[in-house]
Amino acid sequence: MSEPPFDLFVIGAGSGGVRAARMAAERGARVAVAEDAAFGGTCVNLGCIPKKLYSFAAHYAESFDEAHGYGWAAERPAFDWPKLKANRASEVSRLNAIYGQLMRGAGAAVIEGRARITGTHEVEVNGVRHAAERILVATGGWPVPPEVPGGDLAISSNEIFDLAQFPRRLVVVGGGYIACEFASIFNGLGAKVTQLYRGEQILRGFDDEVRDFVANEMRKKGVDVRVGVKVSALERGADGIRVLLAGGGELLADAVLYATGRAPNSRGLGLESLGVSLAPNGAIEVDEHYRTNVPSIYALGDVIDRVQLTPVALAEAMALVDELFGGTGRRVDYTHIPTAVFTHPNIGTIGFTESAARARFEKIRVYRTDFKPLRHTLSGHTERTLMKLVVDDASDKVVGLHMVGADAGETIQGFAVAMKAGATKAVFDATLGIHPTAAEEFVTMRQAVVA
């Protein structure tokens, strides 16, 4: 048993756990962090960072093609899958080390090993029990395995980055943002990609017009997006994995990626034995201060399954540290969270979809434009950009802003500040655009297309 006990024992060194541990330690708390995998969690190791790096890699193929329209005559270079993997691994290792340095530099004790909560104020790691006044669970999420015969032949987003051989034929099952991103990425890298989704359109929960627009753009780029399709089984064949479709038909693939959801990673932590309340999907149930029904145990990030985004976990960590160790008393506002999806082209969005706004407000106005970006007037590509504003008619506030196009996430971040400040359509109209940019369209749309 440790003596004296820790003020805060954090289980999980992902984005939320590291932020909570570091900031609590910097405020003088005695903090320990336990992690049984690489520091940085899903985002650094198996999510945001490697996925964005692979997205950059995939864009180069298009850029080489586009260069011909701008006078460049060089042939497209060959793609080296092993080199991309090695360079990504090197960058991730660098980030792993930085996360460790951040925690240790702040004064937190870092314990490498699998943690289990053995009492309301006790955590066991590697056979050693540590006393703690408070325990924070920040163990993230994990891909949901496929529930079809032969599902063990599939891979998840955890394995896709390090496949031994580049999959020339890739089947992606799922219609969420992870499935769409990997379909776009591997299509750009040169794979023949078929994406299967059982619903009526990919990206459920996003604006309907954005969903239709992105699906069309992905198809134009070569992704075979098929909706209303279910997989009945996977089988090992002599020439690849056979993907059997419900209702008949099959596909052959070198790899099958299942991206059909992620579940909170709460198993094996000892929570059930202590009576900690869990949702049916394993999410740890917490109050507005991230406290469970066991007063000494807290949880945040993907394991509570509110909004599974790295910036949300970071914000939750700061709110918790303020609550426990003094601060500004900040609270996380879960409304108007800006989001980017790294499909090709990208999606950037914040606020209400058009349908959600219609349900929320008495009357809305919608402003919309889609156009060929200046870049593609010479590139020869047919990619188009969509921009959309949703305005509450009574207050004139912009309550929804959506974009599909190059670097949409970079564009939306700035507009997110304006919307957080309550900008009205009149403010948008009074703002001068930067010409020539795509972003200027957001401040030059004057005629409502739907009212």
- What number does CATH give the domain 6-143+263-325? 3.50.50.60
Specify whether domain 339-443 bears CATH 3.30.390.30: yes
Q: Do the two domains 6-143+263-325 and 151-259 of this chain adopt the same fold?
A: yes
CA–CA separation, 204 and 175 (whole Å) = 7
On the question of a cis peptide bond just before residue 345, with omega within 30 degrees of 0, the verdict is yes
Looking at residue 77, its pLDDT comes to 87
CA–CA separation, 121 and 365 (whole Å) = 54
Distances from the Cα of 266 to the Cαs of 8, 119, 300, in angstroms? 19, 16, 11
Look at the block and give the residue holding tokens 């509450």.
392
Position 113 pLDDT exceeds 70: yes
Per residue in 227-247, pLDDT (tens digit) is 999 999 999 999 999 999 999
Indicate if the alpha-carbon torsion angle 305, 261, 87, 375 is positive or negative. negative
Single-letter amino acid code for the residue at 44:
V
Distances from the Cα of 450 to the Cαs of 42, 236, 325, 372, in angstroms? 41, 51, 49, 22
Indicate if the alpha-carbon torsion angle 317, 320, 324, 330 is positive or negative. positive
Residue 435 designated active-site: yes
For strand 128-137 and strand 6-11, is the pairing parallel, antiparallel, or unpaired? Answer: parallel
Q: Which of 68, 376, 402, 435 is catalytic?
A: 435
CA trace torsion 36, 37, 40, 46 (10° rounding) = -140
Looking at residue 240, its pLDDT comes to 97
Contacts 24+ apart (CB under 8 A), 444-448: 445/367, 445/368, 445/369, 445/387, 445/389, 446/367, 447/367, 448/365, 448/366, 448/367, 448/391
CA trace torsion 172, 175, 179, 185 (10° rounding) = 90
Tell me the average pLDDT across 8-34.
97
CA–CA separation, 392 and 417 (whole Å) = 18
pLDDT band at 3 (very low <50, low <70, confident <90, very high): low
CA–CA separation, 215 and 227 (whole Å) = 10
Position 80 pLDDT exceeds 80: yes
Question: If we measure between CA atoms, which residue out of 112, 116, 115 comes closest to residue 96?
Answer: 112
Per residue in 318-376, pLDDT (tens digit) is 999 999 998 777 899 999 999 999 999 999 999 999 999 999 999 999 999 999 999 99
Position 4 pLDDT exceeds 70: no
Residues 30-57, buried b or exposed e (16+ Cβ, 10 A)?
A: bbbbbbebbbbbbbbbbbbbbbebbbeb
- What number does CATH give the domain 151-259? 3.50.50.60
Q: Give the 3-state DSSP-derived string for 36-103, with helices as H, strands as E and coil as C.
A: CCCCCHHHHHHCHHHHHHHHHHHHHHHHHHHHHHHCCCCCCCCCCHHHHHHHHHHHHHHHHHHHHHHH
Domain ranges of the chain: 6-143+263-325, 151-259, 339-443
The side-by-side arrangement of strands in the sheet containing 255-258 is 224-227, 192-197, 169-173, 255-258
Q: Give the 3-state DSSP-derived string for 25-42, with helices as H, strands as E and coil as C.
A: HHCCCCEEEEECCCCCHH
Looking at residue 74, its pLDDT comes to 81
| Phi, psi for residue 443 in degrees, rounded to 5 | -110, 10
Position 403 pLDDT exceeds 60: yes
pTM metric for this prediction: 0.96
Q: Where are the alpha helices (DSSP H) in 201-279?
A: 208-220
Position 16 pLDDT exceeds 80: yes
Looking at residue 76, its pLDDT comes to 79
Tell me the average pLDDT across 296-300.
98
pLDDT band at 450 (very low <50, low <70, confident <90, very high): confident
